[in-house]
Amino acid sequence: MDQPSGAYRFARAVLRPPMALLTRRDWRGQEHVPAHGGVVVATNHLSHADPLTFAHYLDDAGRRPRFLAKSEVFQVPVVGSIIKAAGQIPVYRETADAVEAFRVALAAVTDGDCVVVYPDGTLTRDPGLWPMAGKTGAARLGLTTGCPVIPVAQWGPQQLLAPYHRVPHLVPRPLVHVWAGPPVDLDDLRGQPQTRELLRVATDRVVGAIVGLLEQMRGVSAPPRRFDPKDAQVPLTGNPSRPRAGGTSGAGPGPAATPSRATQESP
């Protein structure tokens, strides 16, 4: 494993035992995660609990994950200091400072670290909890550094903690599926100008690989068109079902923002 900091070792010692106790695990494809060297791991985002279960998966694969995480988490007393010292990377979403997160992530991958990127950029707003039309960060990192981009699908953390809920469901213990696939093939795109069109092609491949794994995992097909929160007029940050100023819901005319419990528990 990459040489961990004291803060990372502390977080691992505190979090691994409850993760092992509270969840059952179906982990596959860890052989696709390189044991050494810079790598980008791209995965879907279902629940505020999935960074914990996903970190558990990568830690067991022998890698110290560095997540791109929303800046608000770093402002939480004590917790923010720990995750910062553990090497996590703050993202100032929807601001000009967001480019700083890319710069730090680029340096981390170049230095040989394992950087975790959520192409969704937030908890998915798709009513069936499928990945949305992705942001281009993971593809940009892979194309710029030449490192492998590993697609990983996860399903089950939303049963432990439903989207935007604060109280976990501890009984029965949820089965957390985490499956990694082989690196996304971006070779034909490397060395070309990173235009918006090229980055969209690369990002569609990354998200498509995640969706393909998730379809196998869930045993159902994803919608033919990926959910786009901008088209659905859904807020890009925060709880989309929470009333906004003026007393209206933030969900707009799009699909329901918070999926039903039945949807969360579908296979």
User: What string of DSSP letters covers 100-136?
Assistant: HHHHHHHHHHHTT-EEEE-TTSSS---TT----SPPS
Assigned token pair, 37:
């060297």
Interacting residues of 136 by C-beta distance below 8 A, sequence separation 6+: 199, 200, 202, 203
Whether residue 256 is predicted with pLDDT greater than 80 in this model: the reply is no
Whether residue 247 is predicted with pLDDT greater than 90 in this model: the reply is no
The band of 84, judged by pLDDT with boundaries at 50, 70 and 90, is confident
Q: What letter does residue 156 receive in the DSSP assignment?
A: S
Return the pLDDT at 249: 45
- Please state, in angstroms and rounded to a whole number, the distance separating the CA atoms of residues 127 and 13: 35
Per-residue pLDDT reduced to its tens digit, 200-218: 999 999 999 999 999 999 9
The band of 3, judged by pLDDT with boundaries at 50, 70 and 90, is low
Tokens 């045993």, located at residue: 219
Alpha helices by DSSP H, 111-244: 137-145, 157-160, 196-218
Between residues 249 and 139, the one the model is more confident about: 139
Q: What letter does residue 34 receive in the DSSP assignment?
A: -
Please name each of the domains of the chain with its CATH number. Answer: 6-264 (3.40.1130.10)
Whether residue 95 is predicted with pLDDT greater than 70 in this model: the reply is no
Least confidently predicted of 21-25, 46-50, 70-74 = 70-74
Give the mean pLDDT of the chain: 87
Instruction: Write down the pTM of the prediction.
Output: 0.86
Q: In what order do the strands lie in the sheet with 24-28?
A: 24-28, 175-180, 149-155, 39-43, 114-117, 65-70, 89-91
Q: What letter does residue 89 receive in the DSSP assignment?
A: E
Cβ 113 vs Cβ 63: under 8 Å? no
Q: Which residues of 17-48 are buried (b: 16+ CB within 10 A; e: fewer)?
A: eebeebbebebbbbebbbeeebbbbbbbbbbb
